Amino acid sequence: MNRDYPTIIRHLLDKAESTDSEAERDALTAKAEHLMITWGVDAAEAMDPHHTITVNDIVLRRYTVEGPSAALLTRWVALPVAGAVCPSIRTIRYPHAPTRWAAAGLPADLDRVELYTPHIVTQARDAWTAYRRRHHFETNAQRNTARRAFFMVFGRTVAARLSDTLTQATTTGYDLVLANSAQAAEDYLDRMGVRPGRRPRVRTWDDEAATAGR
């Protein structure tokens, strides 16, 4: 694994954030996502096949989303995208601190999450700002419903895109490392007494905003 993936990916994502062209931004982001997945597969293939991944290899890192719409971006964008960047990590959401989240996994896996997820959060916020400027909402309730639907679909769309890329790039060696590291992350959280939460239910919806979030 000789390619400097972090530098290349960071360069692509920085260019995607700076361009005013939606088509160019999408193309740059797609290239970054492909390299992100390739990086993970290459790293797994380079691991010592005789090493058994255990809870001692797992670390927990905590994150905070800041700025406008931070709580919604945490739940609907940061968490699903992080899990798609590296499916072996296990994420934690803090209900009483809705802009904070954490992830347990191998350090190298969390490095990829930390590189990619903040850029996607920024893209989601910028896309919502652009959509909001083009639309008038009669009430704050309508705007809040549209914003939640927009972010939810945005996060799911990015996560699905990453999952599709991973399906095409995966190898037997990667699948084995993925399964072992996922089990180690679950054991780590179990040792901490952390249990997965229920999937939140959405009671109101905005079809137009959801479509724009794709």
> Has residue 8 got a pLDDT over 90?
yes
Tokens of 114: 């930390």
Percent over 70 (pLDDT), the chain: 89
> Has residue 213 got a pLDDT over 80?
no
Answer yes or no: are the C-beta atoms of 28 and 19 closer than 8 Å.
yes
Tell me what the mean pLDDT of segment 168-187 comes to.
Answer: 88
- pLDDT for 50: 73
Tell me what the mean pLDDT of segment 109-135 comes to.
Answer: 93
Answer yes or no: are the C-beta atoms of 12 and 28 closer than 8 Å.
yes
- pLDDT for 210: 59
- pLDDT for 177: 87
Nearest to 43, CA basis, from 106, 90, 99, 97: 106
Tokens of 10: 């960071």
Helix (H) / strand (E) element for 160: namely: helix 140-169
Alpha-carbon distance 91 to 37, whole Å?
Answer: 18
The amino acid sitting at 115 is L
Q: Could you tell me which residue, 10 or 46, shows the higher pLDDT?
A: 10
Tell me what the mean pLDDT of segment 141-160 comes to.
Answer: 94
- pLDDT for 198: 47
Q: Could you tell me which residue, 116 or 211, shows the higher pLDDT?
A: 116
> Has residue 192 got a pLDDT over 80?
yes
Tokens of 202: 């959405």
